[in-house]
Structure 1
């Protein structure tokens, strides 16, 4: 009788993957949450979920593993939102930033973009982050979110339209008087 031996799975180790991709994944988590500390928590939760299933992944190439973690980021982010207590409302007024006017302008633009992103529904926000910040194709974005390409296109279109009409960004649009 012939014994069938499982072939060892090839690909990067979990430690190597985290060392190589954690900064880029943290940026995505930050854009989803809008908060550094929540982004760290979100990334950690997604990496824990991934680590638990790492040995069961058929293909542990860096690209496949990253897609798995991005999917975990989005689903964890969505789960957190569903469970979130909504009694606390953060203030819209931020303290003035110290520094040069160029630095001040950069901080203002960043705050306005994050405010506009935060106003989007979670699905639209996830599509924008994956599609335009992470530079994924429509197909990869759809695969990551578990939706159709048409949904990605329509969500991106609606999100961009919402950003264009966002009060936080209205003064920042090119060609418009400030």
Structure 2
């Protein structure tokens, strides 16, 4: 933060487009003021109020020196205001670079997240396929088991009927 000739401080953090435009207007105003003062200086150089208008008086020279002093002060203010203008530009450039880096980082993180989700989706798809195959093979075992139990039940039932028929005939 720089302290200006008028006691104000320049803060490059307060950088938005209106501040930047106001700063440009200020610099242009100072440049116009400088041009006007140079015109006054040229007039003061040509001004000769001495004897018969031929010579310059001490007062004429002092006025020229005072105008030059004002021009130097204006130049210093122009440099300070231009520095603020450049600070605004630098701040905006850095802000946009940070934003671009942040967005790039976000995009990278999103891409990583998408990759992880795709891998997880592939794993889950594989697990579903394995479970379906396992469920199918389990179903086959159940059907074979039920079929075996039914056959066994039919054999036991037929043996029971034979034995029961033999007991009834023996009696």
Q: TM-score by structure 1 length?
A: 0.21
When Rg is computed on C-alpha atoms for both structures, the one with the higher figure is 2
